[in-house]
Structure 1
Amino acid sequence: MDKKRNSPIEVLIQLFVIFLCTYIAYKFTQTHDIIPKSVIRLPDVYVSENDVWHLSIIFTTIFAIILIPSQLILGHGVFYKPQRFASEYLVYLCAYTTASLYVFFVTTINYHPQLIAAIGLFSTVAYILVFIGWYAVKETKKSKLSSLYLLPYSVLRKLFSIKGILVLIYFLSPLLLGKAFVSDRDTANLITQIRIWFNPAEDSGWGLKQIYTNIDLSQPMLVRQAPGDSENLYVLERNGRIIKLNYPESGQVDLVLDATTLLGEVEIENGALGFDFHPEFNQPDSQNTGFIYLYYTEYRGDTQVNKLSRFDISLPDIDARLHSETTILSLPRNPDGFHNGGSIEFGPDGLLYIGLGEGVHPKGASSYSETLRSGILRIDLDTNNTHSSYSPHEPFAHGIRQNYLIPKDNPFVGNPEVMDEYWAIGLRNPFRFTFDPETRKLWVGDVGSTVWEEVNIIEKGKHYQFPFIEGRHPTGKEKPEKLPAPEQAPFYTYEHTAYDRAVIGGTVYRGNKFPELFGKYIFADNYSAKIFLSDTDKEEVTEVKLIAQGSQFAQRGISSVVQLKNGDILVTLLGAASHPTGEILSLIKSDQKTIQQANHTTDDQAAESETSSEYDENLTRQLFSINCSRCHGREGRGDGPDAESLDVKLPDFTSEEFQSTRTDHEIRDIIEKGGAPLQKSPMMPPWGSFLKENEIDHLTIYTRNLGKTNKHHTH
C-alpha cells in the first residue's frame, strides 16, 4: 500500500488558507450576505478590523491545535488522495466548529453569523482548490489525475456515515445557536452569562457611595465648589435651579438661583447645561464677587435660543438675582434640541471657555465665518481689558453677543474663514471639559453620533475633524481641499455598544487623597453610567480601565465627573425626568464601601410608586424625546439628527403603513428587546435593562398615539 509521509508544508498551507479566508470573508460580508434573508433573516452585526484580526488568530490557532495531532496520528496529509481528503475534511469541520463556538462563548467579540458562515464557505472552497492544485502537481500519472472525480463522492460518503452525521450536527450548532441568540431572550441571557463567566471583570478596587441620601435632587447636571469655599457644594439642576449644600453632609438646601422661568420647555438635550463662578467670586473688594455664569437653552414652541448669561447671586433675594441676568451670548438655533454643547469653564488664564455643539446654529447658517457652533470659544469678560482684548466686530446676523471682549491672541483672529471667538473647531458636541491644573491642558469629552465617542485634548487653533472624521474613521462626508486649521486626531475613542454611547468628559486627578489616581484622567459614559480611568502621559491611548458604575442608566445616567479641593471625586447621576431621583456619588476605595442596597431599593420602590401606572402623555413625551428622538425624530417620523448616519431606513410612526402593520405587542417587544433579537437592525438598543415596565408600556402607547395624532391633523 502506497503510504505518503506527513509534510509540515501541507499543514502550513491549511493554516494560511484559514487565516486568509477569515479576512476575505470579513470584507465580503460588509456588503453581501452569505445566507439570504429569504432563508434565515439574520441581523447586521458590527465587527471591527481589530476584532477580525483576533478572529483570524483564534481560527488559525484552533485549527493548528486540531490539525497537527491528526496529521501526526494518521501519518499522511490532506492532499494525499480523494479518500484521504474526505476523512481530513471531517477534521476540518470539527476544527471550524470548535473555533466558531470558542468565539461565541468565550470571547467578547460580537458574534456575526453571516461572517462565521462566510469563513466556512470560503475556506471550504479554498481547501478544495488547494487540494486539486497540490494533487495535480504531485501526481503526474493520468490514472491518478483521473481519480479526481472521486472527490465529491468520497466527501459525501464520509458525511453521510455515522461519524459524518455527528460531525454535521456539531458543524450546524454555531448557526443554530446564533439564530437562537438573536431570537430568544432566555437563550441570549444564558449565553451572555457564559460569556461573563469566561470574561470576568476584574475588581477595580473602586466603588461609588451616594451622599445626600436625605435630599431630593432633580436631575443634577453639575456640581462645583466656589473659589475660596471648600465647605459648600453648589449643584446645578437641569430645570435651571442652583442649590447650595454643606459638604460632605447637609440637612439644609439653600436655593441660590431659580432660572426655571427662563428655560421654557426642558426636554431632549435642553435645559440648564453648565455653570461656573467668576475667578474673583467671594472677593469682597471685587465687582465680580457675586457673579455666576450659566449656559442654558430657552425652548418655547418652535423656537430655541441657547444663552450664556451672568447672574449676581450676592443680591439678597431670589427674584433680584433672577432679574440681574446679563446676556453674554444669545444664539438662535434650529429647534431640534440636540447637540447644544454644555461646558463653560474659566481657564488658568482667567478667560472663559465655552463648548458649543454642532446643532447650535439657525437653519441656513452653519459656517465658522458667520455663526458660533461646533467648537470651543474663548472670551474675555473684563470689558475694561482693552490693552489685550477688543470688542467683537459687528454686525452679527445670527444672535446677540455682548458684554465681553475677544483676546487678541485667539488663534483665528484675522482669519476670514473663522470668527475671532473660536479657540478650536471641528467638534461635534463638547458637553463636558476641564483643565488639568498642572499642565493646563484642556480635556474634552466630545459626544459622537452613531458609532464613535471621543476624548480630545484641545490645542489652540486646531481642527478636530468633525464632520469628516469621527473617532479615527471617515464619515463619508467630503472634506474641503483646504481646512482653516491644522487637523488634530482624538486622544481616545471608543465604539458604541447598546449601552456605551455618550461620553462625559471628566478630570485629570491632581489630588492627594488617592495617590494611585494622580495624573490619571477620570471620565464616564452617560448611558451606561460607567466610569473609566486613562493614562495621560501619551499622545493617544487605545485602552482604558473600567473602575466603577452608577446604578442609573440611559436618560438617568452620569452628567458630570468633578474633582473637589480636598481630592474627592464626585459624580452626578441625573435620575428620572418625572421625579427627583438624581444622585451625587463619591468615588471611594472598595474597603470604604458601605452597603446602601436597602436604601436604594427603598428609593426605587418610592420612585416606582411616584411613577404612576396610569399613562401620562406629557411625561411619556419627555421620555420619548430624551431616549428616542435622536434617531426617530421629535414627532416620530424617522428624521432625527442621527437617522442619516444609521445606514438603515427608520419607520415613520405617524404613517398609516406603520400603524396598520404593527401590533401593540410587536411595538413593545422591540422597545424592550431591541432590534437584534427580532431580526431587525441592532442599532435599535434594548431598553428593557434601562426603563421600568410601565415606562415601556407608556412608550408603546405613545408610539401608537403618534399615528392617531397624525390622522387627526390630516383630517
Structure 2
Amino acid sequence: MLKVTGPSPSGICLEKLANGSYLNMAPHPDGSNRVFLSDQAGKMFLATIPAEGSRELLTIDESNLFLDLTKEVHFDAELGLLGIAFHPEFLKNGRFFVSFNCDKVLWPECSGRCACNSDVDCDPAKLDSDNGAKPCQYHSVISEFFTNGTYVKPVEVRRIFTMGLPFSSHHGGQILFGPKDGYLYFMMGDGGRKGDPHNFSQKKKSLLGKIMRLDVDNVPDAKEMSEFQLWGNYSIPKDNPYSQDKNLLPEIWAMGVRNPWRCSFDSERPSYFLCADVGEDKYEEVDMITKGGNYGWHYYEGPLPFNPPGSSKTSNSTKIENPIFPVLWYNHYDINQKEGSASITGGYFYRSSTDPCLYGTYLYADLYAGVIWGGAETPVGSGNFTSSLIPLQCASDSPISCSSETEPSSSSSSPLLGFVFSFGQDNNKDIYLLASTGLYRIVRPSRCSFHCPLETIKSVAPSQQPDRSPPSPSSSKQLYNISILVINILAWCSLLVVR
C-alpha cells in the first residue's frame, strides 16, 4: 500500500561524503551499501557508502577503476559519459550498459548513421560546423558490457546503439531500466541549436527529441533490422506505441522533449515516470512521461506556446494534437535574475525512512541555483503538483565541511553546492546530490536545526537484500550465459549495421 506523504519538510539536512565530482550514480544490484559512480570524462568507480552519522568518508579508490572509457569517450561541455544502467538480472548475467559520446575523427570505431538525413529532410552537407565540429562528427553510443563479478574488469560485448549527432549539444544521454517491464529507456535531446531549427523533436522519422524504449535482451534478426532500419543491436518491444506504425520510428516511447536531463521512476508507483526537460528562453519543466505522449517542444516551452526562430508570432498550438503540459515548471528569471539562465536537474521521489517529512516529495534542482525544490502531489494520485523551495543546511558533524574541502564541519551552515549535476539513490532509497563541489547525502533533519515530528533518532543500517526489478514481461527473454556472450562477440561485426 502506498504510504501518504508526511508533514511538510522544514528543511533538508546534508552531509558531505566526498570532494570528487561525479555525473552518474547507481546502487550495486547486490543490495549492499556499495554504489557505482562515473564521471563525465569516462571513468567508472566502485565505492562504499558509510553508515549515516558515522563521520566516515565515502570509500573509493580512484586509482583502481572499475571501467575506463577515457580513450573512447569525447569529453566536452555537454559531451561525455552520460549514463550507466545495470540489467535487472545483473547478479545472474553480469550485464550492464553505458551511454556516452564519441568523436569519429579521434576514434575510428565511432561511426554510425547521421541523425540529419533524407528521412527528416535534412542534409548534413548544408549544416554549419558547431564549435569546430562537423555535422555528425560526434555520436551517441550505448554499449553493453559483461563482468563476472565486480572485481573482474568488464569487457564490451556489443554495441547497442550508435547515432551521429547534427550538433554538439542537447543529447540527453541517460539510460535506465523500467522497473516493471525490464526494457531499457534512453533519453535523447533535440540535437542542438536554438529553437530546434529542423524541428527534429516533432519529426516522426527522427529519434532526436525523443524518449526511446529498447529491448536489449533479444538480438534482432536480419529481417527485423531491415524492416525497422534499426540504429543498432536491439529489438523493438511489441507494445511500443508505434511498433506497427510505419509513419513513426518504432523505438519512440514519447516525443517533443528538448533536452531531458535526469529522469526517474517512482519506486512505489512505477507508472510515475518523471523527466526534467531543460528549457530554451523562459521555462524549465518536469514532465510526467506516458506511452505515446507528446510534450510539445518546439511548439511549446513549459506551459506556454513557443515561437521558433523564423516562425510567425501567432500561436503554434494548433500544430500538435493533445500536447501534454508539464506537472512542474519555473521561469529562468526567478533562478538567475542577473543572466536569466537556468538548467533543471531532475531527481527522485523521496522514499527513504531517513527523513519522514520528505517522504513522497519529488526532489529536483537547477544547475545554476545550488538549491533544491520539492514537488508535492495534492491529493496523492491526482497528478497535480505544487512546488516549494526547501532550505538547506550542512550537518554539524558532516565528515567534510560543506564550505571546506579539508576540515570537518563545526556548525550547521548553508552548504556551498556549486553546480548540481545530478541526483543519486542507494539501496536504502537515500538520496544524494552529485555536485561540482562534491557528493552530498540527505540525512536526518535533527542533525541540522530542522524538526520533523515523525523522525526516529536511530542509525539506519544499509539494506543487505537486493532491491531487484520485476522479471522481464516476455517469456522469450532468456538470461545471457557465457556461451551466448561469446557468440555475440563473434557475431558483433556482422550484426551491427550502423557502424
Q: TM-score range by the shorter chain?
A: 0.5 to 0.7
Write out per-residue CA displacement over residues 484-535 of structure 1, whole angstroms, 9 at most, x where no aligned residue.
Answer: x631110011000363611111111222222212211111111112111111
- Equivalent AA in structure 2 for residue 331 of structure 1: M
Write out per-residue CA displacement over residues 434-461 of structure 1, whole angstroms, 9 at most, x where no aligned residue.
Answer: 1012221101111111210001110111
| Residues 437 and 393 of structure 1, relative CA distance in 2, 3 Å threshold | farther
Which of 310, 325, 331 is the matching residue for 1:489? 325
Aligned to 1:331: 163
State the SS of the aligned residue for 1:461: coil
State the SS of the aligned residue for 2:23: strand
| Residues 480 and 544 of structure 1, relative CA distance in 2, 3 Å threshold | closer
| Residues 490 and 380 of structure 1, relative CA distance in 2, 3 Å threshold | same
TM-score using structure 1 length: 0.47
- Equivalent AA in structure 2 for residue 307 of structure 1: V
The yes-or-no answer on 1:310 pairing with 2:175 is: no
Which of 66, 72, 79 is the matching residue for 1:256? 66
CA contact (8 A) 2:299 2:319 kept: no
State the SS of the aligned residue for 2:293: coil
- Identity of matched residues, %: 27
State the SS of the aligned residue for 2:357: helix
Aligned to 2:369: 528
The yes-or-no answer on 1:273 pairing with 2:82 is: yes
How is 1:62-77 mapped onto 2 (pairs within 5 angstroms)? none
Q: Find the aligned partners of 1:447 and 1:316 in 2 and give their Cα distance.
A: 35
Q: Find the aligned partners of 1:513 and 1:203 in 2 and give their Cα distance.
A: 12
How far is the alpha carbon of 1:370 from its aligned partner? 2.6
Aligned to 2:287: 456
- Equivalent AA in structure 1 for residue 256 of structure 2: G
| Residues 252 and 571 of structure 1, relative CA distance in 2, 3 Å threshold | closer
Q: Find the aligned partners of 2:285 and 2:213 in 1 and give their Cα distance.
A: 21
Aligned to 2:187: 355
- Equivalent AA in structure 1 for residue 16 of structure 2: Q
Aligned to 2:27: 225
CA contact (8 A) 1:452 1:471 kept: yes
Bigger Rg over Cα:
1
Which of 321, 328, 339 is the matching residue for 2:154? 321
State the SS of the aligned residue for 1:544: strand
| Residues 252 and 569 of structure 1, relative CA distance in 2, 3 Å threshold | closer
- Equivalent AA in structure 2 for residue 562 of structure 1: G
Which of 177, 187, 212 is the matching residue for 1:377? 212
State the SS of the aligned residue for 1:591: helix
| Residues 539 and 203 of structure 1, relative CA distance in 2, 3 Å threshold | closer
Aligned to 1:551: 416
| Residues 308 and 259 of structure 1, relative CA distance in 2, 3 Å threshold | same
Write out per-residue CA displacement over residues 103-135 of structure 1, whole angstroms, 9 at most, x where no aligned residue.
Answer: xxxxxxxxxxxxxxxxxxxxxxxxxxxxxxxxx
| Residues 204 and 586 of structure 1, relative CA distance in 2, 3 Å threshold | same
CA contact (8 A) 1:446 1:503 kept: yes
| Residues 385 and 271 of structure 1, relative CA distance in 2, 3 Å threshold | closer
Worse-superposed segment, 365-374 or 490-499: 365-374
Would you tell me which structure has more helix in proportion to its own residues? Answer: 1
| Residues 255 and 206 of structure 1, relative CA distance in 2, 3 Å threshold | same
Q: Find the aligned partners of 1:406 and 1:395 in 2 and give their Cα distance.
A: 9
How far is the alpha carbon of 1:252 from its aligned partner? 4.2
How large is the Cα RMSD of the aligned pairs?
2.9
State the SS of the aligned residue for 1:407: coil
How far is the alpha carbon of 1:331 from its aligned partner? 0.8
| Residues 442 and 550 of structure 1, relative CA distance in 2, 3 Å threshold | farther
Which of 438, 441, 447 is the matching residue for 1:583? 438
What count of residue pairs does the alignment treat as equivalent? Answer: 363
CA contact (8 A) 1:365 1:371 kept: no
How is 1:30-429 mapped onto 2 (pairs within 5 angstroms)? 204-212=10-18, 217=20, 219-248=21-50, 249-253=57-61, 254-264=64-74, 266-283=75-92, 289-299=93-103, 300=105, 302=134, 303-314=137-148, 321=154, 324-335=156-167, 337-348=168-179, 349-359=181-191, 366=200, 368-383=203-218, 391-394=224-227, 396=229, 401-429=231-259
- Equivalent AA in structure 2 for residue 293 of structure 1: F
Q: Find the aligned partners of 1:432 and 1:392 in 2 and give their Cα distance.
A: 29
Aligned to 1:519: 360
Would you tell me which structure has more strand in proportion to its own residues? Answer: 2
Which of 243, 267, 273 is the matching residue for 1:437? 267
CA contact (8 A) 1:331 1:360 kept: no
Aligned to 1:501: 342
Q: Find the aligned partners of 1:474 and 1:571 in 2 and give their Cα distance.
A: 33
* Segments of 4+ moved more than 6 angstroms: 315-318, 360-365
How far is the alpha carbon of 1:298 from its aligned partner? 0.9
CA contact (8 A) 1:357 1:429 kept: yes
How far is the alpha carbon of 1:270 from its aligned partner? 0.8
Q: Find the aligned partners of 1:462 and 1:455 in 2 and give their Cα distance.
A: 14
Q: Find the aligned partners of 1:347 and 1:493 in 2 and give their Cα distance.
A: 25
Which blocks of at least 5 consecutive residues in structure 2 are unaligned?
1-7, 51-56, 106-132, 393-413, 450-499
Indicate the structure whose relative CO is greater, using CA pairs within 8 Å and at least 6 residues apart: 2
Aligned to 1:652: none
